[in-house]
Structure 1
């Protein structure tokens, strides 16, 4: 015995623990043996990596004769024997290990796997079922067994293990997440959803996790409809379980059925005394999704029912904003309606001058002055006051600076614009408003025809920003790349970008004249342009101009030209969807709009507009006019 081993032995022996002393001696001795065999283990692993399983098995077999090596070679050795089909050797090896560790669940599970891999499925089935029955009272062992079965695609046995244990322990919520994952792997969505609902009832803190999972996994309309029905049943059966009501509101919003969401939110707010908070959430999402009717209806309800709560002011401002959003989408825009909105914003600011919402109202007022009433100087005064106000939040100040930059661009002062955009970009680097500033700078470079600098900004935005800004960046980037590929100088694209700038500056007549020359293949100076790949973009831009001027027939004809002449182009589905929107919202032709949305879903099922087209079709068909009442 070496000196250090003798020293350890005597220290522990004095304390009457001879067994521990012997264990430490074996451990130290084993470590020495492992050090000697380390190179053999490494060599065996290298053979396995190279695919020489027979050579690897020979080395593992020799190494397994020394117990100290087994913890390092076990997984590779067993898997190699299974792959080689040497099942008798695998059983002998496991029996030897099991004698030393009879309670090791891993050895027992692998023995069942050997029966299965050898083709004795009946024996494997009986063995696994008996093993599950023996361990069903032990939660940790059952979880380990379920993970084993899952990792080897034996999903049914994993489900059996968890449900047997759950039933034996009489705990219906046990293993909810584990079972949800296994049902997902098996493709049983109904049971997967039920397990997630079991999980969410255990604590309300789980609800956001469940919403995130559901949003990722339930993407088809019928899947969401199935979840909605299940939640209606749960809400009726368990009216006091708050999370079911919350999830029912959420799933109807996912389907963009905001009337149904409102019905549930209204009941939810009253039942749990939330002062209209959930209804406000539905109104905000409805407004973001351009469902102006339901947004206005909900805001009016909150104003009426919760006039002594903080949500009263938010709803009052939300109602004005809803009217503004609707006005911006109704062509041509009525100047009298804009003036009425300005008056309402002024009244709100005067009535609640010290409220933070009044600052938001001032920003909206400035936007209307600049973009619709051609009172840019008035807008600049309002925004400068807003920026200088110490009560203005950092976010709102940044947005006001971006608005101010936009107005200077309207005035034809792009250097002032880029100065303001760059300030926000620098101070809000990793925030969405900073990305928005970078996108505005990219568009400035694009307007000026500096496509290289524009592309540098856009490449960054495509990778690290919000989805909306990333999509805008991607669209502009693709337009640049597509047209530069045919015309390295980018002459046609420069002409097109300059027309976009004219439109931004509300110089519509001049823009239309320039577009007419572009359609004929000439620049504004009469120079012939060789690149005609931009023609679809020209049609698209003019179609939008005609629509905003109320020239709907001209707009529809141009959108049809895109589909006829460029059926495989990236703008084809945009043009088709916009036709439906014109018939629905501008011409109020319900039947024609339904026809277009229905055809759109058949022709472009993978389009980013597919979900919206489906929702609009169902709305026009009357699917959302009557809702179940609780």
Structure 2
């Protein structure tokens, strides 16, 4: 037994060494190992193929042919040897004997269709795609129980025959619904990794043909998926509604998911239509309440000055309809948030949240109430009370992302109150947060504190920046801008200057002062070329030129600089897409 284990280990080691040398292009050393492996395993086509490849790379075609002809005299040698022989002829531009050898490989499939996969894959490995297709199809024709559609679709894709590829994949989805997600991933490579729109246009055409000729809702599902990838949420919603109407047991999951995606992506009109549809069709109150909660978020986003009382009245109507219970906690929390931050009545919001805390509910609903209560207390600058709630949440949800959010808010609240040492200690822990967003925010705030704390023992610049940050949190943007103006005037050249410029630029955009925003971004780009905020400044200024100032030519060099100098930036994918559009490329 020990001898067998030793022999197996040696064979595995030789196999690994052979592959390493072959990949490195050291064909003489690879030949040494493959020759030994082939002698010990004469029916292993991988070893025979490796040995033949070494001969070919060393331009010893006659030796390769002699080896293959000798092997083909063995009884039961796999038909892949004929493919190797034919390919050896092709390398010497000998087409007639190559075709003869390939025909013998195909004849083996006709005699025994179980060879179809080996032969088809053998042709594919040599990039003989038409021959591979013929082998796979021949096997399926002779033995209908065989199904090589997955392999065929991939080969059609390699050939660039997109329509045939899509149709083959779609036929397979009908037969093997469990492969749908894998097939979508494969299709996605052709839809979204190529800058051409051709892949998506062909796929859309094929799906529309299926929708018109076949009532299977899977075609609508795939159309919806395609439109979501293209961010065409209105078209996706049309498909989701069609799916809902055609299903024997309709459910609203697809429309709910699409509504949330559209909401997160800022397409509030589509999100509103989706959630309105849900409120009209949902049978259970929980689903309707969730939809109404999103509709109220959209209502708030669209609100104009002077509408606070109307919106609060709409909240009241909904709560009167569905009751104040654990089921409507999310709606009540949203109402409290609006009351505090928009209607400017934080005292009443705090009172209502404290009353909700006494109601029976699950731990996550209670956590949502407690988090909102603490957030409003920060708004009121009641920092110590807020810290109590945040600290409780941090302990109660220690291994949950919400516990990490609470810890970050502990740090931020400590930052607001000027306790920079404690804030920094909390942020050190959060740098390794499982949430990338929290980790990034924690790292940026920690760097801000550590860079500025040692410059001034009184922390005057840091305190002013913290004050501006708090004013922005309190929706007092104009006051925040004024504080930053003062900071930039009195602390010019200190480390906080770049953060202050970026924050003021963002606030200025919110206030509609685009000229000031443009100037600040320009200052960061010009005066802080090695700054961690440089990619933010480049991207934000480019978007400002594109979406607000209608000066695309000014955006172009900024995007180009971001692409070439900051390939690791989170803005890189969108910057590249927008740059290609400006350059006139066909972009999906």
Q: Under a length normalisation based on structure 2, what TM-score does the superposition of the two structures give?
A: 0.75
Cα distance, 1:352 vs. partner?
A: 1.4
Q: Which runs of 5+ in 1 are unaligned?
A: 1-27, 328-332, 584-591, 618-630
In the superposition, relative to structure 1, how do residues 253 and 531 fare at CA in structure 2: closer, same or farther (>3 Å)? same
Q: Does the Cα contact within 8 Å between 1:142 and 1:161 map onto a contact in 2?
A: yes
1:577 aligns with 2:530: no
Answer with 450-459 or 486-495: which moved more. Answer: 486-495
1:114 aligns with 2:88: yes
Matches for 1:238-249 after TM superposition, within 5 Å: 238=214, 240-249=215-224
Q: Distance in 2 between matches of 1:424 and 1:205?
A: 41
In the superposition, relative to structure 1, how do residues 108 and 367 fare at CA in structure 2: closer, same or farther (>3 Å)? same
In the superposition, relative to structure 1, how do residues 482 and 113 fare at CA in structure 2: closer, same or farther (>3 Å)? farther
Q: Does the Cα contact within 8 Å between 1:439 and 1:473 map onto a contact in 2?
A: no
Q: Distance in 2 between matches of 1:453 and 1:282?
A: 40
Equivalent residue for 1:131? 105
Equivalent residue for 1:604? 559
Cα distance, 1:556 vs. partner?
A: 0.8
Q: Distance in 1 between matches of 2:314 and 2:6?
A: 83
1:252 aligns with 2:218: no
- Given the alignment, which residue of 174, 177, 202 partners 2:175? 202
Q: Does the Cα contact within 8 Å between 1:363 and 1:382 map onto a contact in 2?
A: no
Q: Does the Cα contact within 8 Å between 1:559 and 1:579 map onto a contact in 2?
A: no
Q: Distance in 1 between matches of 2:205 and 2:240?
A: 17
Q: Does the Cα contact within 8 Å between 2:49 and 2:84 map onto a contact in 1?
A: no
Q: Distance in 1 between matches of 2:15 and 2:239?
A: 64
Cα distance, 1:566 vs. partner?
A: 4.4
Cα distance, 1:557 vs. partner?
A: 0.8
Cα distance, 1:347 vs. partner?
A: 2.4
- Given the alignment, which residue of 414, 428, 440 partners 1:474? 440
- Given the alignment, which residue of 354, 357, 376 partners 2:346? 376
Equivalent residue for 2:567? none
Matches for 1:260-339 after TM superposition, within 5 Å: 260-273=235-248, 274=250, 276-304=252-280, 311-327=287-303, 334=305, 336-339=306-309
In the superposition, relative to structure 1, how do residues 252 and 459 fare at CA in structure 2: closer, same or farther (>3 Å)? same
For residues 284-325 of structure 1, what are the alpha-carbon distances to aligned partners after superposition, in whole Å with 9 as ceiling and x for unaligned? Answer: 332222222233334334444567887544444432232123
Q: Does the Cα contact within 8 Å between 2:136 and 2:148 map onto a contact in 1?
A: yes
For residues 107-149 of structure 1, what are the alpha-carbon distances to aligned partners after superposition, in whole Å with 9 as ceiling and x for unaligned? Answer: 3443344334455455334433542354168665323334344
1:229 aligns with 2:205: yes
In the superposition, relative to structure 1, how do residues 306 and 423 fare at CA in structure 2: closer, same or farther (>3 Å)? closer
In the superposition, relative to structure 1, how do residues 602 and 199 fare at CA in structure 2: closer, same or farther (>3 Å)? farther
SS at structure 1 position matched to 2:302: helix
Q: Does the Cα contact within 8 Å between 1:559 and 1:576 map onto a contact in 2?
A: no
Matches for 1:441-456 after TM superposition, within 5 Å: 441=410, 443-444=412-413, 448-450=419-421, 453=425, 456=428
Equivalent residue for 1:162? 136
Equivalent residue for 2:322? 352
1:343 aligns with 2:313: yes
Q: Distance in 2 between matches of 1:33 and 1:204?
A: 44
Q: Does the Cα contact within 8 Å between 2:427 and 2:445 map onto a contact in 1?
A: no
Q: Under a length normalisation based on structure 1, what TM-score does the superposition of the two structures give?
A: 0.71
SS at structure 2 position matched to 1:128: helix
Q: Does the Cα contact within 8 Å between 2:260 and 2:271 map onto a contact in 1?
A: yes
Q: Distance in 1 between matches of 2:327 and 2:389?
A: 24
1:460 aligns with 2:442: no
Q: Distance in 1 between matches of 2:260 and 2:227?
A: 14
Equivalent residue for 2:519? 561
Q: Distance in 2 between matches of 1:494 and 1:137?
A: 84
Q: Does the Cα contact within 8 Å between 2:82 and 2:104 map onto a contact in 1?
A: no
1:363 aligns with 2:333: yes
Equivalent residue for 1:14? none
Q: Does the Cα contact within 8 Å between 1:276 and 1:306 map onto a contact in 2?
A: yes
RMSD: 4.6
Equivalent residue for 1:102? 76
Q: Does the Cα contact within 8 Å between 1:601 and 1:613 map onto a contact in 2?
A: no
In the superposition, relative to structure 1, how do residues 241 and 578 fare at CA in structure 2: closer, same or farther (>3 Å)? same
Cα distance, 1:428 vs. partner?
A: 4.5
Q: Distance in 2 between matches of 1:375 and 1:363?
A: 14
Cα distance, 1:358 vs. partner?
A: 1.3
Q: Distance in 2 between matches of 1:543 and 1:62?
A: 70
Equivalent residue for 2:503? 541
Q: Distance in 2 between matches of 1:603 and 1:511?
A: 28
Q: Distance in 2 between matches of 1:428 and 1:283?
A: 29
Equivalent residue for 1:624? none
SS at structure 2 position matched to 1:85: coil
1:530 aligns with 2:497: no
In the superposition, relative to structure 1, how do residues 323 and 92 fare at CA in structure 2: closer, same or farther (>3 Å)? same
Equivalent residue for 2:584? none
SS at structure 2 position matched to 1:460: coil
Q: Distance in 1 between matches of 2:15 and 2:475?
A: 75
Q: Distance in 1 between matches of 2:127 and 2:462?
A: 54
In the superposition, relative to structure 1, how do residues 504 and 134 fare at CA in structure 2: closer, same or farther (>3 Å)? same
Q: Does the Cα contact within 8 Å between 2:65 and 2:85 map onto a contact in 1?
A: yes
Q: Distance in 1 between matches of 2:521 and 2:96?
A: 61
Q: Distance in 2 between matches of 1:404 and 1:158?
A: 66
Q: Does the Cα contact within 8 Å between 1:577 and 1:600 map onto a contact in 2?
A: yes
Equivalent residue for 2:377? 408
Q: Distance in 1 between matches of 2:3 and 2:576?
A: 69
Q: Distance in 1 between matches of 2:451 and 2:317?
A: 53
In the superposition, relative to structure 1, how do residues 565 and 204 fare at CA in structure 2: closer, same or farther (>3 Å)? same
Q: Distance in 1 between matches of 2:284 and 2:59?
A: 77
Cα distance, 1:364 vs. partner?
A: 0.8
Q: Does the Cα contact within 8 Å between 1:90 and 1:114 map onto a contact in 2?
A: yes
